[in-house]
Structure 1
């Protein structure tokens, strides 16, 4: 079949998809610690909502609402893929507020050691993450 229609693009000229050309960065110790700090912070807010409020109505609102609010604020202002461009100072303010809120939940529940250890670990992982982002 000599007169078969041909594609205007040669098969060798196909562009490579962006996801295939950018390999994923392997997870190191600091990335895992950072993930655990974020997960523990969200769980702390949910646990605070469970223990600090009477169960049926207000507790359910705070169990779901507090971590959801923190996750949305983190995504909008601190996430590497955030839709709102924020400078370094704004990112630091948002992250500090979220870490202090999660640490304050443990202090308000009567476990100040857990809150302080969480704040210190989150601060160290935040400094490491900041140094990596700006390097």
Structure 2
């Protein structure tokens, strides 16, 4: 399976087929059309470590504590289409995991923005001062 720059061996992807609760009519009780795809991201020799870490983070609840990504596909009534859907979802996750986050460059606020902020603080303070009730001389 080729995803971007990565080439993942088919033996790393484990698929099991179970009965689906989705569409299918009477057939749904007889045929195992849903696909449960498992991919061991942490133990995969095809993935660089940084991509594996990002993939597990992106997978969220679909990842086990051991770093295995589990994708369950039951959208379609046929097994081949569910299999294709599960593989496409894994490919989308892998594509997104390959993107490195752009490092944030620290910047300083401009002189004008600092002046605007201080002016606004002064203005707000003046408004609040007007709201205060004066006690004493009546």
TM-score, shorter chain, exceeding 0.5: no
TM-score (norm 1): 0.28
Q: Answer 1 or 2: which has greater helix percent.
A: 1
TM-score (norm 2): 0.28
